Amino acid sequence: MRKLLLQLDSSRLPSVFDQVVAYDAGADQVMSYGGVTETDVRDLILGCLFTRGPKDLHNTAVWIGGSNMAAGEQLLAIVLDSMFSPFNVSVMLDSNGSNTTAVAAVVKIEQAVADVKGKKVVVLGGTGPVGQRAAGLLAKAGARVTITSRKPEQGEKSCQFVNARFGVQVESATLADAAQLPRVLDGVNIFLNAGAAGVQMVSKAGWTAVKTLKIAVDLNAVPPLGIEGIEVNDAGIVKEGVTVFGAFGIGNFKTKLHKACIARLFERNDLVLDAETIADVARELMAPKS
């Protein structure tokens, strides 16, 4: 039976990136819908549920994407609400690659530092989908997390969203120009750049001056890179006494994780893949083979 992936994208044009990875991960057909809103979801899901009998429903799955994290969360809630046992299909939320990218970065950080509990973490540009997910996961693991934004109200709003979703206490700091960087990075042990593509967030002098810093991660692959002195292919090497990861140093594992998650959607019909469950898949992939 053909493996069908229903792509529900909150953005006007359904993501081509998500479609390509879905095919590469084994989907036979991707049924793509863009500009999906809450009122569209129920009928689209019912179309999945009643076309194949319960024993075959693991061959149908749902993907939720789009650039807006909050919209993705709402679509996921309605997808789950539209299903009833035994009529379930597996579903995954990854708005803007947020969950897979954030999880890939977080598990690499965890591997490098052993335990993030009590560590001071700053997520630069943490108001975007990737930064919010990373902040939530790191805080949930016990880190003391601050996200930065150029605008205080935006930082506060994102904190509220993350804190409500993950049950944590992430804080925000305003970072509107480079002069504010020493204050924001004071005492930091780990920092993660999740700022927009093509924006340098930290100069080399800015991070090498921080004596408490142990790990620095840049997710931006588009020049100029987000953290000066960290290259895209850096993957856990030590520079200036700091373990560093660049965008491909994280992104290669992100792609592997993304594909593994899609494949798992077709193994059963009741899997829900969101930040925490995607992190479980990532830790399995990272575990040494016995």
List the interface residues with ligand NAP, window 250-289 (CB under 6 A): 250-251, 254
Q: What CA–CA distance (Å, rounded) separates 83 from 60?
A: 13
Number of amino acids touching ligand NAP (CB under 6 A): 25
151 binds ligand NAP (CB under 6 A): yes
How does DSSP classify residue 269?
S
Please state the closest distance from residue 53 (CB atom) to ligand NAP, in A: 37
Q: Which is nearer to ligand NAP, 31 or 260 (CB)?
A: 260
Of the candidates 284, 278, 229, the one whose C-alpha atom is nearest the C-alpha of residue 103 is 278
Q: Which is nearer to ligand NAP, 58 or 254 (CB)?
A: 254
Alpha carbon of 146 to those of 108, 140, 269: distances in Å? 19, 13, 37
Letter string b/e over residues 246-282, b meaning 16 or more CB atoms within 10 A of that residue's CB: bbbbbbebbbebbbbbbebbbeebebbbbbebbbebb
List the interface residues with ligand NAP, window 171-210 (CB under 6 A): 194-197, 199
165 binds ligand NAP (CB under 6 A): no
Q: What CA–CA distance (Å, rounded) separates 191 from 122?
A: 5
Q: Which of 154, 180, 203, 277 binds ligand NAP (CB under 6 A)?
A: 154
With CB under 6 A as the contact rule, which of the stretches 7-15, 22-30, 128-136, 209-217 interacts with ligand NAP? 128-136
Q: Residue 221 is encoded by which pair of tokens?
A: 């692959």
Binding mask 210-249 for ligand NAP (x = CB under 6 A): ---------xxx-------------------------x--
Handedness of CA 227, 160, 106, 255 (dihedral sign): negative
Binding mask 107-126 for ligand NAP (x = CB under 6 A): ------------------x-
Q: What is the dihedral of CA 262, 268, 273, 279, to 10 degrees?
A: -80
Interaction site with ligand NAP (CB under 6 A): 96-97, 101, 125, 127-131, 149-151, 154, 194-197, 199, 219-221, 247, 250-251, 254
